[in-house]
């Protein structure tokens, strides 16, 4: 997770209702073709086909029109011809899958954008049913501290640092009484350790003196704490208190602009505009799904467009690698078979836990 300052493969779709229809065709798995009725079967009144042609009108998976057959390719958008196919999933004989033809993105109405945005959210929910905050924590205080430490570094580095930190200072009272140089030495691996140490000492003292040693569950109270802004507050509220909120970090802001949900750059304005698109009940999980997608597939410099499950819904398709095999090599974390950010991930996480600090695998 980034700090307060910083913190999709197929044809493009056309505006309005055409977006959802095209997305359904391009993103859903192709159902197996039903067996065709044999020509010349009893009751059809049709003569059997002459020798040299395949019996029936079969649909061949991954092949175009074979000699003497009339079939469509599985996963294609049109009829195969002489071993050729069009669209997603088509193949030319035994050759590799050809690159897909991308249509230019066209302007869309506000209603069409909202429908497309909500469709993306539903698709991401299927891709990342296990989406979660990628900071290790056991209570609101640990999540608050970990989120402050995550500024300008990775969640993994924070997760490798906080076990020793919370073993030494488990409560706000303990941390408020810490010697600055000792606290700085423990959190040094996260970078900017002097400024972060001041924030942790300040927020811990405020929790001790103003909130009886407890993390408040209101946005207006949280943002009063040293080093805590709206992003950090929404992380804590959404994941420790169950209060819905949009977390606008670097990944979230980059993707919602790439998807043309907003053109805003200021995090608060981004948050306000995205809140208008989605129901409140979706805000927290939407944040996790978008951040997961940004970290795993839709990277900043070279997104893996050829391996993206929501590519048909993305106006920016083609900014990254569109070749499916090359795109697969760009996938990160569990998508690429590697550990995630957490040392202690949720039970339903499909990947491997990250390595502790000092093991040489971090």
Of the candidates 251, 235, 245, 312, the one whose C-alpha atom is nearest the C-alpha of residue 274 is 245
- The pLDDT confidence band at residue 25, using thresholds 50, 70 and 90, is very low
Of the candidates 283, 319, 288, the one whose C-alpha atom is nearest the C-alpha of residue 302 is 319
Q: Which of helix, strand or coil describes residue 303?
A: coil
- pTM flag (> 0.85): no
Predicted confidence (pLDDT) per residue in 113-139, tens digit: 999 999 999 999 999 999 999 999 999
Q: Which residues pair with 79 in a beta bridge?
A: 72
Catalytic positions are 231, 249
Alpha carbon distance 281, 72 (integer Å)? 42
pLDDT reported for residue 105: 76
Domains of the chain: 140-240 (1.10.340.30)
Q: Which residues pair with 81 in a beta bridge?
A: 84
CA angle at 260 for the pair 259 and 265, rounded to the nearest 5° = 105
Q: What is the mean pLDDT of residues 159-185?
A: 98
Say if residue 240's pLDDT is above 50.
yes
Dihedral over Cα of 118, 119, 124, 126: its sign: positive
Q: Specify the higher pLDDT residue, 133 or 26.
A: 133
Q: Specify the higher pLDDT residue, 341 or 84.
A: 341
Dihedral over Cα of 55, 60, 65, 70: its sign: positive
Predicted confidence (pLDDT) per residue in 61-104, tens digit: 333 333 333 333 333 333 333 333 333 333 333 445 445 555 67
Mean predicted lDDT score pLDDT of the chain: 80
Distance of CA 111 to the CA centre of its chain: 23
Say if residue 241's pLDDT is above 80.
yes
Residues 6+ apart with CB under 8 A from 106: 12, 14, 15
For residues 197 and 184, the answer to whether their CB atoms sit within 8 Å is yes
Q: Specify the higher pLDDT residue, 1 or 331.
A: 331
The stretches of 190-282 forming alpha helices (DSSP H) are: 193-210, 219-222, 230-240, 250-258, 267-277
């Amino acid at each position: 997770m980034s700090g307060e300052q910083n913190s999709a493969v197929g044809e493009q779709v056309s505006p309005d209702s055409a977006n959802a229809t095209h997305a359904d065709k391009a993103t859903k798995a192709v159902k197996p073709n039903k067996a065709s009725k044999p020509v010349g079967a009893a009751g059809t009144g049709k003569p059997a086909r002459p020798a040299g042609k395949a019996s029936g009108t079969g649909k061949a998976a991954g092949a175009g029109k074979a000699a003497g057959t009339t079939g469509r390719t599985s996963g294609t958008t049109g009829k195969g011809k002489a071993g050729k196919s069009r669209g997603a999933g088509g193949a030319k004989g035994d050759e590799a899958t050809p690159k897909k033809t991308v249509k230019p993105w066209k302007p869309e109405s506000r209603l069409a954008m909202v429908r497309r945005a909500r469709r993306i959210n539903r698709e991401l929910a299927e891709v990342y049913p296990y989406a979660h905050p990628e900071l290790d924590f056991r209570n609101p205080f640990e999540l608050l501290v970990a989120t402050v430490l995550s500024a300008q570094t990775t969640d993994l580095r924070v997760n490798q640092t906080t076990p020793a930190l919370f073993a030494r200072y488990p409560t706000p009272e303990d941390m408020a009484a810490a010697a600055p140089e000792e606290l700085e030495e423990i959190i040094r691996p996260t970078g900017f350790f002097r400024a972060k140490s001041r924030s942790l000492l300040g927020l811990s003292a405020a929790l001790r003196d103003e909130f009886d040693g407890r993390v408040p569950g209101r946005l207006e109270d949280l943002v009063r704490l040293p080093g805590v802004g709206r992003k950090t507050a929404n992380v804590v509220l959404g994941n420790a208190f169950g209060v819905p909120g949009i977390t606008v970090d670097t990944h979230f802001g980059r993707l919602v602009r790439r998807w043309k949900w907003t053109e805003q750059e200021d995090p608060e304005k981004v948050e306000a505009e995205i809140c208008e698109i989605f129901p409140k009940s979706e805000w927290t999980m939407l944040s996790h799904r978008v951040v997961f997608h940004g970290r795993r597939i839709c990277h900043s410099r070279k997104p893996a467009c050829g391996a993206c499950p929501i590519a048909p819904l993305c106006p920016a398709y083609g900014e990254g690698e569109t070749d499916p095999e090359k795109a697969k090599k760009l996938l990160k974390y569990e998508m690429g078979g590697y550990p995630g950010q957490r040392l202690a991930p949720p039970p339903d996480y499909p990947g491997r836990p990250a390595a502790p600090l000092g093991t040489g695998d971090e």
